[in-house]
A and B are shown apart, each in its own frame.
Chain A
């Protein structure tokens, strides 16, 4: 059974810092990995999706990498801003099947202090 773990559970940084969020998964047979942002009491906003054949994806100040064989992904946020404060969730879709159900980690709560 796929398990997704995110470390750290919480992170507090000063504005302007570059930071890395970590995600690991137990079954490396994944089809893709998706990073989401969740604001308090709100829905999930998709940030980046990495296919299993890709090693990284970039969107603005965000860069996500994937090392499928070791079961790891990182989300790099450059020049963090207070508006980046949110919970960041990692989710994987296992290979096989066509339903694309996602297995989520518990998230990293990021606070960027002005």
Chain B
């Protein structure tokens, strides 16, 4: 069964460093998302991406964050200068977006645990 994959599973970085989190959405899905979950807190929406551009972003997604779909398969989240409070689990999700069953259902990857020291 197709699934969303994410790499790395765990990333440790120093404050102020840039990190890139990678995701491979399910092929033929059209909508892509990043969410994050700080330990013990709710899963929070960061950004949605469609047709090679950001379609919506939350207040969390400030200028330090960017997303890119550099090729036909990868979807990346970059944090330019990490802060301690960026430590969280980051989830990528994708959605078909095409007519038919399951077009609304979001499928999540296993997450990348980011630890900022």
Q: Which residues of B contact A70 (CB under 8 A)?
A: none
Does residue B48 face the partner (Cβ distance < 8 Å to A)? yes
Q: Which residues of A contact B95 (CB under 8 A)?
A: 100
> A41-B113, A43-B111 given as contacts; is B41 within 8 A of A106 (CB)?
yes
Whether A100 pairs with B31 at a CB distance below 8 angstroms is yes
Whether A43 pairs with B104 at a CB distance below 8 angstroms is no
Q: Which residues of A contact B42 (CB under 8 A)?
A: 104-107
User: Which A residues fall within an 8 A CB radius of B?
Assistant: 31-32, 34, 36, 41-46, 49, 51, 89, 91, 93, 97-107
Enumerate 13 A-B pairs (CB-CB under 8 Å) in ascending A order. A31-B104, A34-B106, A41-B89, A43-B108, A44-B108, A98-B55, A99-B48, A99-B50, A99-B56, A100-B31, A100-B48, A102-B43, A107-B42
User: Which B residues fall within an 8 A CB radius of A?
Assistant: 6, 31, 33, 35, 41-45, 48, 50, 55-56, 58, 89, 91, 93, 95, 102, 104-111, 113
